[in-house]
Chain A
Amino acid sequence: MTPRRRISQWSRRAGLCLGAAVMVLWSLAPIYWSFLTSITPPGGLVSSGLRLWPEAATTEHFAKLFGATSVSQGNEVQSVWPQFSAAFANSLITSGLATVVTVILAAFGAWAFVRLSFPGKNVIFIAVVATLAIPAYTVMIPLYRLMIAAGLIDTYAGVTLIYVSAFLPLALWLMRSVYQSMPLSLEEAAWLDGASKLRAFVQVVLPLAGPGLVACAILTFLSAWGQFMVPLVFSPTLATKPLTVLIPEFVTRNYVDYGLMNAAGMVAIVPPMILVLFLNRFLVQGLMAGAGK
């Protein structure tokens, strides 16, 4: 290798590393900031100057979250655990339900859009996907009236329904392209082997669509977990109120409890992180290898 080529290769690699470092910093720095805030005593939060590690790390904010009682500004106060745990459960339930329902509907619906022929197939599909372009706030008021009429305000069913209707189009779109890339001859082979259409779908197509389904599940769960506006309107009480709506309520008239908010935020990161780490293994490429020549 000539020195010149070595230098150009080295500089290319250095540029790549720099780019990667900037991106990692860009995405991880806010999380670190939040973590830092969650272990800094309230007094330390207002100190001047940037600190990358608090003078005296504390677990008092987490204690306020999880403990029965805790000390706040010198007074013993009720901890927020009852509210926090309820909201945490609500977040898990609504996001989980939305994910399961969306993935199941998308898995079957997209297949129908690809393999079955019925009048208006493409028009209906485009109409469904076009709803992605409608901004959520334009439908909030009519949707609210609708949900009141249906008695679905502040119920899991209501929130799940809204999430599903919001996230299904994208999932359908994604699954449709997954099925479209699959050779029809696989299904035909299954039919000739004696499988019904449904059976061929369940036993041959679905296992191969795994990575697509996992991608749908991750997308839907993350979108639902991060929802703020929909639950703000449709989940007024702790019956269904999720973390995203509860945490900002830690802002009181006299005091903004940054430590508590960030401690709650750190805990709220955990479920999506676990989900992604767990499902990531199934998000593998090359599942179709070996079908053909």
Chain B
Amino acid sequence: MAKVSISDVTKSYGITKVMHGVSFEVQDGEFVALVGPSGCGKSTLLRMIAGLEDITSGQVSIGERVVNDVEPKERDIAMVFQNYALYPHMTVAENMGFSLRLRGTPKAEVSRAVAEAAEILGLTPYLARHPKALSGGQRQRVAMGRAIVRHPAVFLFDEPLSNLDAALRVQMRAEIRNLHERLGSTSIFVTHDQVEAMTMADRIVVMRAGRLEQAGPPLELYDRPANAFVAGFIGSPAMNLLPAQAAGGHVTLADGSVLPITSAAEGAVQYGIRPEHLDLVPPETPGAMTGTVGLIESTGTAMFVAVQTQGPKVNALFSDRPALHRGDRVGLRPKAGHSHVFHTGTGERLA
């Protein structure tokens, strides 16, 4: 068990700089999700922690040790790869015991550790099989088994669930989380799926284009996104971000509706309101937006409605199944205290 510190890490390929000074810490035993759109550098950062990529500048430490120049095999970390990377010529037991065998652990000890890990992961009946005789979910589990069998200081997960179908992904999400609680090991989990990040992590690190956008507990990111990017990225469906003019505790939207804000911002801003924070009210209600109902998507637990206002389109999410039809005119009133205001140019949150 160890804490991981990333300080001012950069990465360049030739003259192309892809990571611009990222710093954060992962506490001992913490489960941190690195999340961001494709190409944001989250996998590169994970591979730098693993030692599979060189660090151009900055420092990575595991425990109290700076590992910039430490070989991957000396870092005491285990990694679950996106494509699992199981050794096809070895059985499940051999795959899981490979690292211990490399360390010269006695045979009896290896099989005991493998049996224990297999027990945890429900792989006991499959120990003698080769990976090709396993399903996708089982292979995923073997990849995790290979990681947990030797009790490393840090677990790294590189989008391990992206190859599974939706139902299995939800199940594995819970299993990984349970495993983490059981082993109490420091874990860093890379994903592009913000739902995975929200549901699994103690803390989320949001990245974009090689920069850290915000780091914090999931609900903090949801409640107080530091900028418009995080606001749009965290939460599903995404937050409505509407151009507006702010003055004296109110914003005026493009369609002329005037909405209250808690921010003291003045001038051109981006007004943010989550779809689930809109109440259905009669059209033309003061302090609400008015528009025409467009596409309606119902999942049973919630109803997703796209409303075309005079200005931009606004998405709303209702859990009480209002009787709405395409073409209806409705009013949407933000719940008090749930609005966000961001700077139009920099996207920074305005208090």
Q: How far is the CA of A290 from the CA of B132 in the complex (A)?
A: 4
Stretch in A10-18, A157-165, A194-202, A273-281 touching the partner: A194-202
Decide: A193 and B98 in contact? CB cutoff 8 A.
yes
Segment of B14-22, B80-88, B289-297, B334-342 in the binding face: B80-88
Known: A290-B130, A290-B134. A185 touches B85 (CB 8 A): yes
A30 to B84, CA, bound (A): 51
Nearest CB to that of B152 among chain A residues?
A: A192
Q: Are B99 and A293 in contact (CB under 8 A)?
A: no
For the complex, what is the distance from the CA of A89 to the CA of B81, rounded to whole Å? 51
Residues A184-213 near B (CB distance < 8 A): 185-186, 188-196, 199, 204, 207-208
Q: Is A104 an interface residue (CB 8 A)?
A: no
Is the beta-carbon distance between B88 and A195 smaller than 8 angstroms?
A: no
CA separation between A287 and B87, bound complex, in Å? 10
CA distance A204 to B103 in the complex (A): 16
Contacts A287-B89, A290-B139 hold; do A193 and B146 have CB atoms under 8 A apart?
yes
Q: Which residues from 36 to 58 on chain B have a C-beta closer than 8 Å to any C-beta of chain A?
A: 50-52
The reply to whether A195 and B84 form a contact with Cβ atoms under 8 Å apart is: no
Tell me if B133 counts as interface (CB < 8 A to partner A): yes
Say yes or no: is A289 at the interface (Cβ < 8 Å to chain B).
yes
The answer to whether A188 touches B81, judged by C-beta atoms less than 8 angstroms apart, is yes
Which among B52, B73, B130, B146 is the interface contact of A196 at CB below 8 angstroms?
B73
- Interface residues in B72-96 by Cβ distance below 8 A to A read 72-73, 75, 77-79, 81-89
Taken residue by residue from 171 to 212, chain B's Cβ proximity to chain A (1 for < 8 Å, 0 otherwise) reads as 000000000000000000000000000000000000000000
Give Cα A196–Cα B103 distance, bound, in whole angstroms.
11
B236 proximal to A (CB < 8 A): no
- Report the bound CA distance from A37 to B194 in whole Å: 78
- Do B83 and A291 touch across chains, with their CB atoms under 8 A apart? yes
Q: B103 — which chain A residues lie within 8 A by C-beta? A: 194
Q: In the complex the two chains form, is B134's CB within 8 Å of A192's CB?
A: no
Q: Are B72 and A191 in contact (CB under 8 A)?
A: yes
Give Cα A188–Cα B51 distance, bound, in whole angstroms.
10
A289 and B132 contact, Cβ closer than 8 Å, known pairs A183-B83, A192-B50, A208-B89: yes
Q: B131 and A188: CB pair below 8 A?
A: no
Mark out the residues of chain A between 165 and 197 whose CB falls within 8 Å of any chain B CB in the assembled complex. 183, 185-186, 188-196
Q: How far is the CA of A40 from the CA of B263 in the complex (A)?
A: 107
Q: Which of A188, A192, A194, A208 contacts B88 (CB 8 A)?
A: A208
The A236-293 residues at the B interface (CB cut-off 8 A) are: 286-293
Q: Kindly state the separation between the CA atoms of A55 and B99 in the bound complex, as whole angstroms.
A: 70
Minimum distance in angstroms from A60 CB to a CB of chain B? 52
* Closest-CB distance, B304 to chain A (whole angstroms): 31
Which residues does chain A contribute within 8 Å of B136, judged by CB atoms? 293
Rounded to whole angstroms, the CA-CA distance of A224 and B163 in the bound complex is: 47
- Decide yes or no: A290 and B131 within 8 Å by CB, A192-B78, A195-B73 being known contacts: yes
Instruction: Pick the contact of A190: B50, B84, B98 (CB < 8 A).
Output: B98
Q: Provide the residues of chain B in CB contact with A288, threshold 8 Å.
A: 88
Q: B102 in the interface, Cβ–Cβ < 8 Å?
A: yes
Set B77, B78, B88: member contacting A291, Cβ < 8 A = B88
Q: Shortest Cβ distance from B133 into chain A, in angstroms? A: 7
Contact of A188 among B52, B98, B133, B146 (CB under 8 A): B52
A186 to B51, CA, bound (A): 15
Nearest Cβ on chain A to B64's Cβ, whole angstroms: 21
Chain A residues whose CB sits within 8 angstroms of the CB of B132 once the complex forms? 286, 289-290
The CA of A189 and the CA of B142, in the complex, are separated in Å by: 13
Contact B85 A188 (CB under 8 A): yes
Q: B76's closest neighbor in chain A, by CB?
A: A194
**A286 partner residues in chain B, CB cutoff 8 A:** 132
Knowing A290-B131, A290-B132 are in contact, say whether A194-B85 is a contact too (CB < 8 A).
no
Query: B-facing mask of A6-39, CB < 8 A → 1, else 0?
Result: 0000000000000000000000000000000000
Once A194-B99, A288-B88, A289-B132 are accepted as A-B contacts, the answer to whether A185 and B72 lie under 8 Å apart by CB is no
A 93-124 binary contact with B (CB < 8 Å = 1; else 0): 00000000000000000000000000000000
**Closest CB in chain A relative to B137 CB, distance in Å:** 10
> Are A289 and B88 in contact (CB-based, < 8 A)?
yes
Partner of B85, one of A195, A196, A207, A291: A291
Q: Does B99 lie within 8 Å of A193, measured CB to CB?
A: yes
**Chain A residue contacts of B82, Cβ below 8 A:** 185
C-alpha gap A205/B169 in the complex (Å): 30
Tell me the nearest residue of chain A to B129, going by C-beta: A290
CB distance from B138 to the nearest CB of A (A): 10
| Bound-state Cα–Cα, A292 to B79, Å | 14
The answer to whether A192 and B73 touch across the interface, beta carbons within 8 angstroms, is yes
Write the residues of chain B forming the contact surface with A, with a CB cutoff of 8 angstroms: 50-52, 71-73, 75, 77-79, 81-89, 98-99, 102-103, 130-134, 136, 139, 146, 163
8 closest A-B pairs (Cβ-Cβ)? Answer: A290-B132, A290-B131, A193-B99, A293-B163, A292-B83, A289-B132, A185-B85, A189-B85
Residues of A participating in the B interface, judged by any CB pair closer than 8 Å: 183, 185-186, 188-196, 199, 204, 207-208, 286-293
Q: A192-B78, A207-B89, A293-B84 are in contact. List 10 more A-B contacts (CB 8 A).
A: A190-B98, A192-B72, A194-B99, A196-B73, A208-B88, A208-B89, A290-B133, A291-B86, A292-B139, A292-B163
Q: Could you show 14 A-B contacts with beta carbons less than 8 Å apart?
A: A183-B83, A185-B81, A185-B85, A186-B87, A189-B86, A192-B75, A192-B77, A194-B99, A287-B88, A287-B89, A289-B132, A290-B139, A291-B85, A291-B131
